[in-house]
């Protein structure tokens, strides 16, 4: 069932799994495209079930596959491939993030699909560029993050590189792929052409780290790891400060601008009751404050420890001092404002009950996302294969009995 939105009327054949590809196609579905998710009969996509719970959709699958329709087909069976090729002829977009070379081996690569549908928009997400030395290398989020430079600038000075707790490479590649698909559809409408889109997760992470080239060219060296400090320059205050009741996430991050003329440090001194620091020569500039950060930071933390992270954030921000409480999943899930805004949405799953999960981040005045639960395995197969592949009732039942669909 297609959604209502700017992509209404477009059909997407979805050969994605896990996160990067599914983020792309879910984004397209939230914007109104009709997304047919191709899964294995009985087993589903690799991320649908977990070893611990083999008979119920994993929460991760539910989060990443909303507003889609599921069709099942054995792509290794000639009859199954014949049906999929019929669908390729009638869709606008194909998206895949299978292992390197997998779609070509099936006869469903870009050139194969272009022969069936000359104006197809064919998007693929891989770990590395397909024209380079790493083309055949397998990749998941931490691998792409590593070769994209993220751990090199993450962690404590003098210690090993650290991965992020967020799937920046996966979700980032998915969003970039969705953006590219939409651009390709616009180009198709204007110029009447289809095209191939390749998104390499390594490339995406490199792009997210573009600000690192400022200190690289300024110093002639790769940026160092600065923990919670400011990566672009050694300035202070810039870091995490403990708050009551002193749990593992009871911190607030405070950063005062390094730009000349900023009054943020002055404001901070006044808020914490230490206006005397304003005239202290040790703390006159962002750089000098960094040199004496071991003196300055305990003074600031003496104040933050008297407040909760939420109160500290509110007090500081109202005084024009950039500060962010460290919100964890529990904080975010229970945030009433984020519920009202639609950042977090509540859904009802038949087996898992009520879930509150992240929704579509942007707010568009003329596009309201109507969230639908991730599909049951194969729930759209009958409609698609009969209506678009021309199967009779008898043929459909026969192929279903043989687990071809």
Dihedral pair phi/psi, residue 198, rounded to 5°: -120, 120
Residue 131 lies in a domain: yes
- The label of the residue with tokens 């996430």 reads 249
Give the residue from 298, 325, 352 where a domain finishes.
Answer: 325
Burial of 20 (0-12, 13-18, 19+ CB in 10 A): buried
Is 332 inside a domain boundary? no
Same domain, 196 and 60: yes
Count Cα neighbours of 150 within 13 Å in the Cβ-side half-sphere: 24
Per 3-state DSSP, the chain is made up of helix, strand and coil in percentages (nearest 5) of 40, 15, 45
Q: Which among 195, 149, 151, 206 is positioned nearest to 173, based on CA atoms?
A: 206
Q: Select from 217, 238, 242 the least CA-distant residue to 321.
A: 238
pLDDT of residue 355: 98
Q: What are phi and psi of 161, to 5 degrees?
A: -60, 150
Specify whether the CB–CB gap between 331 and 267 falls below 8 A: no
Residues 63 and 149 reside in one and the same domain: yes
> Which pLDDT score is estimated for 232?
86
The two three-digit tokens of residue 395, written as one number: 């043929």
Asked whether residue 96 is assigned to any structural domain, the reply reads yes
Is residue 183 included in any domain, yes or no? yes
Residue 163: HSE in the Cβ half-sphere, 13 Å Cα cutoff: 13
Answer with the one of 325, 358, 378 that is the final residue of a domain: 325
Residue 166 lies in a domain: yes
User: Domain of 267?
Assistant: 238-242+251-325
Predicted local confidence at residue 202, as pLDDT: 98
CB-based contacts of 46, cutoff 8 Å, min separation 6: 17, 18
Q: What is the mean pLDDT of each run of 10 residues along the chain (405 residues)?
A: 85 98 98 98 95 94 98 97 98 97 97 98 98 97 98 96 97 98 98 98 98 95 95 93 98 95 97 98 96 98 98 98 98 98 96 97 93 97 97 97 96
Nearest to 10 by CA among 196, 197, 186, 193: 186
**In this structure, are residues 216 and 223 in contact, taking their beta carbons and an 8 Å threshold?**
yes
Whether 20 is in a domain gets the answer yes
Instruction: Give the CATH number, domain containing residue 117.
Output: 3.40.50.10540
Same domain, 292 and 158: no
Residue 363 and residue 315 in one domain: no
CB count within 10 Å of CB 81 equals 17
Q: Report yes or no on 176 lying in a domain.
A: yes
User: Counting every residue, how long is the chain?
Assistant: 405
Q: Tokens in use for 405?
A: 């669909």
Tell me, yes or no, whether 296 and 350 share the same domain: no
274 and 390: one domain?
A: no
List the catalytic residue out of 170, 203, 234, 250: 170
The number of angstroms, rounded, from the C-alpha of 44 to the middle of its chain's C-alpha atoms is: 22
Give catalytic status of residue 393 as yes or no.
Answer: no
Query: Which CATH number belongs to the domain containing residue 319 in this structure?
Result: 3.30.1540.10
Overall domain count for the chain: 2
Q: Tokens 């879910």 identify what position?
A: 26
């Amino acid at each position: 069932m297609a959604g209502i939105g700017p992509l209404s009327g477009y059909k997407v054949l979805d050969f994605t799994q896990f996160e990067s590809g599914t983020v792309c196609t879910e984004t397209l579905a939230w914007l109104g495209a009709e997304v047919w998710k191709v899964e294995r009969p009985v087993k589903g996509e690799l991320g649908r079930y977990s070893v611990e719970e083999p008979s119920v959709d994993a929460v991760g699958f539910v989060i990443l596959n909303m507003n889609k329709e599921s069709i099942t087909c054995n792509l290794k069976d000639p009859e199954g491939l014949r049906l999929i090729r019929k669908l390729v002829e009638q869709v606008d977009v194909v998206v895949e993030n299978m292992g390197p070379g997998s779609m070509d081996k099936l006869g469903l690569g870009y050139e194969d699909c272009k022969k069936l549908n000359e104006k197809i928009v064919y998007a693929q997400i891989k770990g590395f560029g397909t024209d380079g030395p790493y083309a055949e290398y397998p990749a998941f989020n931490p691998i792409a993050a590593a070769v994209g430079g993220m751990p090199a600038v993450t962690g404590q000075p003098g210690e090993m590189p650290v991965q992020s707790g967020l799937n920046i490479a996966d979700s980032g590649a998915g969003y970039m792929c969705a953006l590219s698909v939409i651009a390709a559809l616009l180009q198709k409408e204007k110029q009447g052409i289809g095209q191939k889109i390749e998104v390499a997760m390594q490339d995406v992470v490199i792009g997210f780290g573009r600000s690192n080239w400022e200190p690289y060219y300024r110093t002639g060296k790769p940026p160092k790891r600065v923990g919670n400090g400011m990566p672009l320059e050694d300035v202070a205050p810039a870091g995490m400060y403990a708050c009551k009741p002193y749990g593992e996430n009871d911190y607030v991050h405070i950063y005062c601008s390094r730009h000349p003329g900023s009054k943020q440090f002055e404001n901070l001194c006044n808020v914490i009751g230490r206006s005397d620091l304003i005239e202290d020569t040790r703390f006159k500039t962002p750089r000098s404050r960094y040199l004496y950060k071991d003196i300055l930071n305990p003074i600031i933390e003496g104040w933050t420890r008297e407040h909760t992270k939420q109160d500290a954030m509110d007090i500081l921000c109202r005084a024009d001092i950039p500060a962010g409480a460290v919100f964890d999943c529990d904080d975010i899930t229970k945030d009433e404002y984020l519920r009202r805004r639609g950042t977090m949405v509540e859904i009802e799953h038949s087996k898992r009950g009520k879930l509150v999960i992240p929704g579509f981040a942007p707010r568009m005045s003329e596009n309201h996302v109507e969230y639908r639960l991730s599909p049951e395995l194969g729930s759209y197969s009958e409609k698609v294969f009969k209506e678009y592949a021309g199967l009779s009732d008898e043929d459909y039942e026969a192929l279903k009995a043989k687990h071809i669909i």
